[in-house]
Structure 1
Amino acid sequence: MKMFNLKFFPKLGLFIYIFIYLISPKLAITQNTNVDIRRNLENALNTRNLKLIKNIFKEDENFKIQEQFKEIIKDFPNSTWQIKRLSVENSKEKIFNIKVNGNKIFNGDKYFLESNFKYLFSIQNDKIKNGKIKNLLTTIRNDQNKIDIIFRIPEKVLTGTKYDIDIILNEPLGDVIIAGGIISHLEDSHLKQEINIEPLASGGIFKTTRASSKPARQIWSGVISHPKGTISFTKSVEIVEKI
């Protein structure tokens, strides 16, 4: 059995942490002056403008956000953010679709980051309220997209119900030996656990789990090792009382 420690791999847990803080409910919006929060947030991230980020966030969060932002930029210096508004301008609930891409040479291999998620929020007294990240999927891979992989992990499930997690390699394996592992952890937490990497008898990771009895947001992180490369992933699942 092999141990896979993500703190020595590009920081999956850190990405979740950063995304949550960069678009947290403490992000200020001034509607009266027609400030475009989508554009300001996207510009601040893409230009590495710490001063603008400082102006966006409340004073008690500035230092923490800037330090964590510097860390993610250190991992992927050329990362880019794309933010699209999915909701109509006058809707009560606002929705952004956020996509992050980047790449980095790590131990001689080139790793590619891709992350997609939706951010839902409302506005009260010119500030974002009740911000929620949904349908997060982040991958970091060095296979040059040669591995045809499918992630079948639900976006939301009912409390107390069983659900399946399937990460499928959609190609004949033949004599190819693959290995992998997966763990779950709480939202907003750093991923400090080690992932047990074991040979996979089938073409991927297949797991059945049960949702918690109360609404929550569960984060699944894992890795698949293949002769063509390595793919690590993080996916969020929202546990709700009704769908």
Structure 2
Amino acid sequence: MFNLNLFKNIGVPLYLIIYLIFPNSAITQNLKVDFISNLENSLNGRDFDFIKKNFRNDDSQNISRQFSKIINDFPESRWKIKRLKSNIPNKEILRIKVSGEKIVNGEIYILESNFDYLFSMVNGKIDEGIIKNLFTTIRNDNKEIDISFKIPDRVLTGSKYDIDVILNKPLEEVIIAGAIKPHQINSFFEQEILLEPLASGGIYKITRAPSKPGVQIWSGIIAHPKGIITFTKTIDIVDEI
């Protein structure tokens, strides 16, 4: 039987799995294929000058700071960007994937993050950028844990909805631990998640959306004998679907 005492009183800092959410980021007036390619190359090449030239001053400072955190935690991280068709007037959408890995105490941690980036282009500068549909995992189990995440991308204001994180294989006598909690953008740096035993083979939660439109963020962790998985998911809270 797995010894749950190994996880007693463990608190997991949230900054590592949420720093990709930077508010009020921002892109230029004529979005061209070469611009997208240059943006991707600048991120992969750690070219901060490109960011400073193509983002507004306040946004470029914020993005550079957040980007530095990613590079510091995952020095070999790679970015892939492609343009999506937008049905929103005066808005563009990029689909962005970030992947990377690092070794901590002999363990390999794998980062995978996917999100859509919705933005306007004002005076040749990236402006009014919003992260949508972000889902990030960091795990050290070499993907041996068969896990499913059933978390919606958007829900109606004030409505009830389910959050299910399911371990698909029978646990038998194995004990796992985990937890999940909500928080707001820019409020996560000092927060921790305290693990609890999960007798049901996953996390199953019914919650209610806020009464006003916006973004709700959920972060959690699953601790299993084969490894640890941390995750972050954003949910759009909307007036209509």
Q: Please report the TM-score for the alignment, with normalisation by the length of structure 1.
A: 0.87
Residue 228 of structure 1, aligned match among 222, 226, 229: 226
Question: CA distance change for structure 1 residues 124 and 42 in 2, over 3 Å: closer, same or farther?
Answer: same
Alignment of structure 1 residues 77-92 onto 2, 5 Å = 77-87=75-85, 92=90
C-alpha separation in 1, matches of 2:123 and 2:67: 27
Q: Which residue of 2 aligns with 1:42?
A: 40
C-alpha separation in 1, matches of 2:144 and 2:95: 26
Which structure exhibits the higher relative contact order, with contacts defined as CA atoms closer than 8 Å and separated by 6 or more residues? 2
How far the C-alpha of 1:128 sits from its partner, in A, is 4.0
The letter for the 1-side match of 2:16 is: K
Structure 2, unaligned stretches of length 5 or more? 1-7
The letter for the 2-side match of 1:3 is: I
Deviations 1:38-76 (A, max 9, x none): 222211110011222222223344444333322211110
The letter for the 1-side match of 2:10 is: M
Q: Which residue of 2 aligns with 1:138?
A: 136
User: Would you say 1:206 and 2:237 are equivalent positions?
Assistant: no
C-alpha separation in 2, matches of 1:90 and 1:172: 44
Deviations 1:113-163 (A, max 9, x none): 000011122334444444221111000000000011111000000011100
The sequence identity of aligned pairs, in percent, is: 53
Q: Which residue of 2 aligns with 1:109?
A: 107
C-alpha separation in 1, matches of 2:59 and 2:90: 26
**Contact (CA 8 Å) 2:54, 2:125: kept in 1 or not?**
no
Moved more, 63-72 or 138-147: 63-72
Alignment of structure 1 residues 58-207 onto 2, 5 Å = 58-87=56-85, 92-207=90-205
C-alpha separation in 2, matches of 1:131 and 1:144: 33
Q: Which residue of 1 aligns with 2:20?
A: 15
C-alpha separation in 2, matches of 1:96 and 1:49: 19
Deviations 1:69-107 (A, max 9, x none): 222111101000000111179974321111000000012
How far the C-alpha of 1:188 sits from its partner, in A, is 4.1
User: Would you say 1:217 and 2:215 are equivalent positions?
Assistant: yes
C-alpha separation in 1, matches of 2:145 and 2:9: 22
The letter for the 1-side match of 2:98 is: V
Q: Please report the TM-score for the alignment, with normalisation by the length of structure 2.
A: 0.88
C-alpha separation in 1, matches of 2:198 and 2:232: 19
The letter for the 2-side match of 1:231 is: I
How far the C-alpha of 1:35 sits from its partner, in A, is 7.7
| Length, aligned pairs only | 234
The letter for the 2-side match of 1:224 is: I
Task: Give RMSD over aligned pairs.
Answer: 2.4
Q: Which residue of 1 aligns with 2:5?
A: none
Residue 5 of structure 1, aligned match among 8, 12, 20: 12
